[in-house]
Amino acid sequence: MTTTKPTALVVSAHSADFVWRCGGAIALHAQKGYDVTVVCLSYGERGESAKLWKQEGCTMERVKTERRKEAENAAKALGVHDIKFMDVGDYPLELSRDEKFELVDTIRAVQPKFMLSHSFVDNYNTDHSYATRVAIECRMIAQAWGHNPGEKVLGAPQLYLFEPHQTEQMEWKPDHFLDITDVWDQKWAAIQCMEGQEHLWHYYQNVAENRGNHFRRNSGGQSGGRNAKYAEGFKSVYPRTVDEL
């Protein structure tokens, strides 16, 4: 699946995380001509599907099917190029060596210009921080010339950590604000695809509005800043190499 278009890769612990946390970034980059691939390591079938489990006669297969359908609909609303479901199981999320190599294959095939994943700390949902460790580990393996020699090795894509739930508890502090005002309608449509987690819809609208305020302040505020209404925050992991500041 080699492409000449710029690409980005999202590593999402569960099948809905990418929507709340970086749906705007996905839609915006898709609009800019990027092929954005989303990898859902699990469906969040055990840990993030309470509303579905409260329905009578619910089964694991039904939860997974519903969660997959919701994620596919959201991905479509955001203009995702490809969404992959690894279905490795959640609570706890764990990848075997072979499953890590499968993710490395995807990273090498996509050759992302940048990657997105969770915060380093999440003591409420250890699947999230685990997904980030896996993303970093698999990024490293994808860079190794001795791993499947002959394949195109990975360069050094930035890894952006998207905003967690309960921000301050996760020791996460943004160093980037992305104006997603132009694609907010798409993110809102994607959020509404997450029918099993309706309690989060307005919370994440509120987060986007607050980050919009931070975008305005940090882009110059009343002395000429951009009038962003919605934004997303990101924390970068690796230094940027530049010719000019």
Task: Compare residues 108 and 165 and give the one whose CB is closer to Zn ion.
Answer: 165
The closest residue (CB) to Zn ion is 14
Q: Which stretch binds Zn ion (CB under 5 A): 5-13, 65-73, 97-105, 190-198?
A: 5-13
Min separation Cβ 68 and Zn ion, Å: 15
Task: Compare residues 17 and 35 and give the one whose CB is closer to Zn ion.
Answer: 17
Task: Compare residues 17 and 45 and give the one whose CB is closer to Zn ion.
Answer: 17
Min separation Cβ 239 and Zn ion, Å: 28
CB-CB contact of 193 with 80 (8 Å): no
Alpha-carbon span 135 to 92, nearest angstrom? 16
Binder among 17, 35, 70, 179 for Zn ion (CB under 5 A)? 17
Number of Cβ within a 10 Å radius of residue 26: 32
Task: Compare residues 14 and 235 and give the one whose CB is closer to Zn ion.
Answer: 14
Angle, CA 145 vertex, CA 93 and CA 162 arms, to 5°: 40
Q: Tell me, by CB under 5 A, how many residues bind Zn ion.
A: 3
Min separation Cβ 132 and Zn ion, Å: 12
Strand partners, 158: 114
Does residue 14 bind Zn ion (CB under 5 A)? yes
Q: Which stretch binds Zn ion (CB under 5 A): 13-21, 66-74, 140-148, 176-184?
A: 13-21
Q: Which stretch binds Zn ion (CB under 5 A): 2-10, 16-24, 54-62, 135-143?
A: 16-24
Alpha-carbon span 191 to 233, nearest angstrom? 17
Alpha-carbon span 182 to 185, nearest angstrom? 8
Task: Compare residues 14 and 64 and give the one whose CB is closer to Zn ion.
Answer: 14
Task: Compare residues 52 and 228 and give the one whose CB is closer to Zn ion.
Answer: 52
Binding site for Zn ion (CB under 5 A): 13-14, 17
